[in-house]
Amino acid sequence: MEFQPFIFIIGVVFNLIFCAVIYLVQQGEEEWGAILSHGFKIPETNQIFLHWQDFYCQKFGCTIGLSITTGMFTNLIMQLHLSFVIVACFILVFLVDIKIFNHICLGKRHKPDWGYPRIGRISIGGRVHLVYHGLNIAMLGLLVFVMIVGNLNGWPMWLTLISLVIYVITNVIDIKKGHFDQLKLL
């Protein structure tokens, strides 16, 4: 794959705009009272209600790691002939991720946050993030597939792997900080 800086930048900017939209929707929902204010405790718990910017995987994983991923993905799709099978697999991964992620977050043990502010309820920002999450998992899946078959190598491959490592590390930090802990009622 030949790296095209302008196409890469378009992908990065697209990702950053998507992140900004998610953040701004969350801020609007906080102002409208649709979600708890930043830093408030979840009722009947000692757990803090987390906003988008509280999650390392969103603040850094999405804005840095997934910006690189989106830039590399944009480069890839501009240069590859995408067969029906590849497009179908991309859509399938996107839909399966949305279904699984949403199912987990709507569960009774999910700790409420900005995207899922109450048990069994998704916010507007959560819906936007759900699409974002599905797209990024599908993009990562396609990039990894292309690496495995040898169509992504050299420094573009390493840059893609670095973006994945950034995203994984930020998720691990969130796990260690308890951001993904289950709901613990008093």
Distance CA 164, CA 152 (A): 14
Retrieve residue 147's tokens. Answer: 């690496």
30-61 pLDDT, tens digit per residue, is 999 999 999 899 999 999 999 999 999 999 99
Using DSSP's 3-state secondary structure scheme, residue 182 falls into: strand
Who contacts 129 (Cβ-Cβ below 8 Å, separation ≥6)? 22, 52, 115
pLDDT at 1: 67
Contact between residue 129 and residue 50 where contact means Cβ atoms under 8 Å apart: no
Residue range 80-124, pLDDT digits in tens = 777 888 899 999 999 999 999 999 999 999 999 999 999 999 999
pLDDT for 71 beyond 80 = yes
Q: Which residues pair with 50 in a beta bridge?
A: 113
Cα–Cα distance, 97 to 85 (Å, whole number): 18
User: Could you tell me which residues are beta bridge partners of residue 110?
Assistant: 182
d(CA 127, CA 60) in angstroms, rounded, equals 20
**CA distances (Å), 161 to each of 9, 61, 157, 173, in order?**
18, 13, 6, 18
> Model-level pTM?
0.93
- pLDDT tens-digit readout, 123-171: 999 999 999 999 999 999 999 999 999 888 888 899 999 999 999 999 9
Q: Which two tokens stand for residue 134?
A: 């599905």
41 three-class SS: strand
**Residue 70's CB: how many other CB atoms inside 10 A?**
25
Residue 121 backbone phi and psi in degrees, to 5: -130, 135
Question: How many CB atoms neighbour CB 163 within 10 A?
Answer: 24
Domain-by-domain residue ranges, the chain?
5-176
DSSP 85-118: HHHHHHHHHHHHHHHHHHHHHHSTTBPPBSSS-B
